[in-house]
Amino acid sequence: MNHLPSVVRQNHLTHYWWYRDEITSEPFALVVRYDREGEKKKFHQYQLVNGEWTEGAATPLPIYGLHLLRDHHPDKNIFIFEGEKCAEAAYHLDLTALTSMMGSSNATNADWAFLARYREHSRFVLVPDHDEAGKRYMQAVYREICRVNPQAEIRICLLPCKEKGDDFIDWLKDQEGCPSEWDGFQPIDEPASLYLYQAFETAIAQYSIPANEYFNVVAHTKPVTFGPFEPIEESILSVKSCPVHTFPKEVEEWLDSLSQQMQVPVDDLAAPFLIYAGSVIGRMRGMRVRRGTDWIEFPNLWGMIIGRPSLMKSPAMKAARKPLTFLISVAKKLYEEACAQHAGQLETWKILKKAKEEQLKKGISKMLTDGFKVDLQKLGGIDIEPEPKTPTLKRYKTDDTTVEKLGELLIENPHGVLLFRDELAGLLYSFEKAGRENDRPFFLESWSGKEDFNIDRIGRGSLYVPALYLSIIGSIQPGPLAQYIRGAMQGGKGDDGFIQRFQLMVWPEENAEWRLVAPISLVHLEEKIKEIFLFLDQLAFDPNGEPVFIEFDLEAQAAFDNWQIQLENRLRKDDLPPHMEAHLAKYKKLVPALSLIFHYLHADSRGQSPDRIDITTLRGAILWAEYLESHAEKIYHSGMNMVQKSAKSLLRRIKNGDVKEPFSARDIYQGRHWSGLSNPMEVEEVLNFLFERNYLMQQMVKTSGRPSMKYWVHSDVYKTET
């Protein structure tokens, strides 16, 4: 397989590299490079998941060139470069070359542990780029190799490059035998390839030294710091105002009144309200987004309310839930009445069944007494009605449940269920708990509302969920969310599109001032809201138990098509960060889902056609999409700010004496549990950030055990405020 998957965009594509399985040589990951004139090069990662290619890097990051080790001779060198381009060039010179995905800052996130399976291959040559980033990358790789293969013979080859930032490709181009037209990507034919191979062999002999001599500088004094350090700045993006006017007049007035009475932003009420309405509509109604196609979307949405503690996030979500709570109470009352009626029916059925059994026994006894063969058909069997079916409580929501129980709820409630989590952080991090690792795919599949799902557990049997339809709402504080976002943006465990499914994420501006307001009577408005939700609750499947689909009218369809054209072209321009690109790509569900919800919320007030969505409704949905995009930008930006926050926090702790010079990364994360500095990946990112801005200097120090990277602080740090 060498053709590109359909998920890969072709526009501005320069080159691509397959990551292949070490045994089968089949591709399992892919890196694609894009170049646009006047802009920095960009790389996108893809991986094969359950037979489908999806965007995003695997965790841990894979190693490029794995399949070469199968036929590698143990007496020959394994070369490690920074980047697939250099590794591929070395491969074309008949060298075994490896590298890791996502560049120099992610060396420790790569799966170097696989080398433990090839300990007979103990000769390595590290070829760094000619800059500080290249040196740091090879330092990290050196430590990883030492960890998994302590007996390895590791050398570093410092090629004599002309310019800072030059790499192996640049060095090859400077050799006399290199073809002048070679662009660094294509293979080099003989005899040029043979000449460059010999030139590189000569360079290895001349310019390589043992890696431990290069990295293990004996240093116990503070190194010299050059230049002033750069200021560490954080920024919080502004967001658009909530388009609450898109709701029916009574709903808008109710939400505004609640907002004033509770002194909370109306965003914290409006976003949950939309999710509640969509969850009640459920799978009974779907949106056929384009006529004559199978493109359908359902109105289940995921959302989160973001804000500092004590800002009334949870009370706001619960206040907006009143009409849903009303439906829950009605369903409970109907269930209790049905149970009472069922009890009487069951008792009557038992009496009739017992009487028929007695009658049958007498008939059989008489036949036997008279010497006849027993003929049950002649006796009529036990001809009574089937046992009355036990009533089922209609469920609208659950607050905390296992995947297995949630599957049972969805089987009993094919219209769908809402998951309400007061604190969403618990859900986001629950997937990392032992035994719950497989819960994440369940939730990922439930977002579309279109898929079925099999749940198999030892000791619990198997469940088949024919319609996996889940809505989610919860609240979260900025700190835990920023930390989760940071991991997703780094290609960590959250980089699978899970966070992008929360399309109704709102982080509104805080009310500048709290004031005491007079009580506002909301009874007359709440009655109207209850009527709207009763109307939504009365929607039903078609006679075959299937969803009923509605469409745009002609004017709205043309407007939606134009909106989608603009969105698709925007996604293909490659000027969006990967996380925002993935987020906005899911707006192709968001806008139809919002259109469907607003259509039914306005059904009475506008007298709309029951199966056609008009242009006014679509415009409201698009307005919400624009509003939500501004909040998404603010939220993802908070993940980028997390490094700055953690850097400032570390500098404060250093000044307070919590960290003593010289210190290692381990001294910071081991046993500390400091926010944003709790694991090696976070700490290394912060230390590199401070090193690049001259707050820290680093040197490798020999110890009684393995060499350790130590850090010293710029003396002026103690004179500044952080």
pLDDT band at 71; cut points 50, 70, 90: confident
Listed range (377-381, 421-425, 670-674, 688-692) with the worst mean pLDDT: 377-381
Q: Where are the beta strands (DSSP E) in 555-695?
A: 612-613
DSSP class of residue 663 equals B
Across 184-216, b (16+ Cβ under 10 Å) vs e yields: beeebeeebbebbbebbeebbeeebeebbebbb
Give kind and range of the element (H or E) at residue 242: none
Closest CA to 322 of 280, 260, 265: 280
Whether 580 and 633 have beta carbons less than 8 Å apart is answered as yes
CATH class in words for 244-329+394-638: alpha beta
pLDDT at 660: 85
Backbone angles phi, psi at 297, to 5 degrees: -135, 150
Is the per-residue pLDDT at 64 higher than 80?
Answer: yes
Report the distance separating Cα 62 and Cα 59, nearest Å: 8
Q: Which residue has the higher pLDDT, 129 or 709?
A: 129
Whether 32 and 16 have beta carbons less than 8 Å apart is answered as yes
Cα separations in angstroms, 24 against 1, 27, 207, 454: 12, 9, 36, 29
Is the per-residue pLDDT at 55 higher than 50?
Answer: yes
Give kind and range of the element (H or E) at residue 699: strand 696-701
Mean pLDDT for 320-340 is: 93
pLDDT at 378: 64
pLDDT band at 220; cut points 50, 70, 90: very low
* pLDDT tens digits along 386-410: 888 888 899 999 987 888 888 888 8
Is the per-residue pLDDT at 84 higher than 90?
Answer: yes
On average, the pLDDT of the chain sits at 85
Is the per-residue pLDDT at 226 higher than 60?
Answer: no
pLDDT at 608: 59
Whether 21 and 66 have beta carbons less than 8 Å apart is answered as yes
Report the distance separating Cα 215 and Cα 139, nearest Å: 7
pLDDT band at 280; cut points 50, 70, 90: very high
Mean pLDDT for 228-251 is: 85
Mean pLDDT for 521-530 is: 87
Q: Which residue has the higher pLDDT, 232 or 706?
A: 232
pLDDT at 422: 85
Mean pLDDT for 257-262 is: 90
| Radius of gyration in angstroms for the set of CA atoms belonging to the chain, rounded to a whole number | 32
Q: In DSSP terms, which residues pair with 303 in a beta bridge?
A: 473, 504
Specify the CATH architecture of the domain 59-215.
Answer: 3-Layer(aba) Sandwich (3.40)
Alpha helices in 370-465 (DSSP H): 376-379, 403-412, 424-430, 439-446
For residues 37, 38, 40, 46, the Cα torsion angle rounded to the nearest 10 degrees is -30
432: amino acid identity, one letter: E
Mean pLDDT for 648-655 is: 88
Angle in degrees, CA 199, 202, 203, rounded to 5: 85
| Listed ranges 11-25, 217-231, 349-363; the one with the highest mean pLDDT | 11-25
- Strands ordered across the beta sheet of 78-81: 63-64, 96-100, 78-81, 123-127, 153-157, 208-210
